[in-house]
Structure 1
Amino acid sequence: MIKTVVAAPAIVALGAAVTLLSHQLMAETEVNAQDAYLDSEKSVLEQAAKQRIGSFAKELGGTLKTALADGGFPHGVSMCKEKAPGIAAALSTDGWHVGRTSLKIRNSSNAPDSWEKAVLEGFEQQKADGAAFSSLVHSEIVEQDGKRTYRYMQAIRAGEFCLSCHGASVDPSLVEKIKSEYPSDQATGFAAGDIRGAFTITKSL
Structure 2
Amino acid sequence: MSASDIVSCVAFDGHRRIAAGTLAEVALATKQAVDAGVDGPVLVFDDFNGRPVELDLRGTPGDVLARLPAPTPNDESAPRGPGRPKLGVIAREVTLLPRHWDWLAGQPGGASATLRRLVEEARRSHRERDSVRLAGEAVDRFMSAMAGNLPGYEEASRAFWRNERERFIHVTDAWPADVREHVRALAARAWQAPHAD
TM-score range, shorter chain: under 0.3
Q: TM-score, normalised by structure 1?
A: 0.25
The higher relative CO (CA closer than 8 Å, separation ≥ 6) is in 1
Q: TM-score, normalised by structure 2?
A: 0.26
- Of structures 1 and 2, the larger Rg is shown by 1
Higher helix share: 1
